[in-house]
Amino acid sequence: MQRSGSGWFETFLNSHENVSSNGEIFSVVNRRENVSSILMTLDKVYNLDWYTSASKNECSAAVGFKWMLNQGLMKHHEEIVRYFEKRHVCVIFLFRRNLLRRMVSVLANIYDKDAKLLNGTHKSHVHSTAEANILAKYKPTVNVTLMISELKLTEETTEKALVYFKNIRHIVLYYEDLLSNRTKIMDVQEFLRVPYRDLHSHQVRIHTAPLSMQIENWDEVQKALNGTPYQSFLDLD
């Protein structure tokens, strides 16, 4: 899902000489208009006819892309599963444990699309602490009326995705685990069957402060989540 660390994670993958991940190719609407356009796009990738800045001159042992769940993947999951089985495509799921932090990131990113805090330029990812600090100054106000239902929908979508693709060779990763345990990156390389390398990213985290310092109406949010299944998001922080 958007704002789950996928851009950061993909830069790690692409720092490997034998991996080419081609970015969020289904962000372009006409590539996902219907299942036929989706399958045609997939064919271009897996026939190695897709050329982006991620394309490598070295031998590519693993080729793929980043696909958000809301970009036709869930809607056409049956056809996509059949395609994955036929082409022996494997899947890396990347989720975020603390969905409240994801919500803050989503709201902040939406705000910056209009505000363009970095010298009139919108950036979803940054490469310096100075830029990160500027973006992190904005404290979104969370709509507590919709918050619980949105968290529930995100959770249900995650669960459905895992059910839909359970028979496809896959690995499940969490953003927080990648941050705290660098051996997870080794697990990914093992999963992709590529040689171990010291992978790196130049991206810098934007929201690193406690949630209480990043949400404008923190007291309201805390009160609304206390006693619910999502109270742990307050404790996780």
| Distance separating alpha carbons of residues 105 and 229, to the nearest angstrom | 21
Q: Answer for the pair 159, 74: CB distance below 8 angstroms, yes or no.
A: no
Q: How many C-beta neighbours within 10 Å does residue 59 have?
A: 7
The CATH number of the domain where 147 resides is what? Answer: 3.40.50
Q: How many C-beta neighbours within 10 Å does residue 55 have?
A: 12
The encoded tokens of residue 223 equal 């009160």
Checking if the pLDDT of 53 tops 90, the result is: no
Checking if the pLDDT of 234 tops 80, the result is: yes
pLDDT the model gives residue 124: 93
* Range 17-39 average pLDDT: 96
Q: Is 27 helix (H, G, I), strand (E, B) or coil?
A: helix
- Inside any domain, residue 1: no
Checking if the pLDDT of 81 tops 80, the result is: yes
| Distance separating alpha carbons of residues 177 and 98, to the nearest angstrom | 11
- Its pTM stands at 0.93
- The domain tally of the chain equals 1
Q: How many C-beta neighbours within 10 Å does residue 215 have?
A: 21
CB-based contacts of 230, cutoff 8 Å, min separation 6: 99, 100, 148, 151
- Inside any domain, residue 57: yes
Checking if the pLDDT of 52 tops 80, the result is: no
* Dihedral over Cα of 199, 201, 207, 210: its sign: positive
- Helix 129-136 and helix 99-115, axial crossing angle in degrees, nearest 10: 90
Checking if the pLDDT of 236 tops 70, the result is: no
pLDDT grade for 19, boundaries at 50, 70 and 90 = very high
pLDDT the model gives residue 56: 74
Least confident piece of the model among 45-59, 124-138, 173-187, 221-235: 45-59
Checking if the pLDDT of 6 tops 70, the result is: yes
The encoded tokens of residue 170 equal 């896959």
- Inside any domain, residue 129: yes
Q: Is 32 helix (H, G, I), strand (E, B) or coil?
A: helix
Q: Range of 83's domain?
A: 6-236
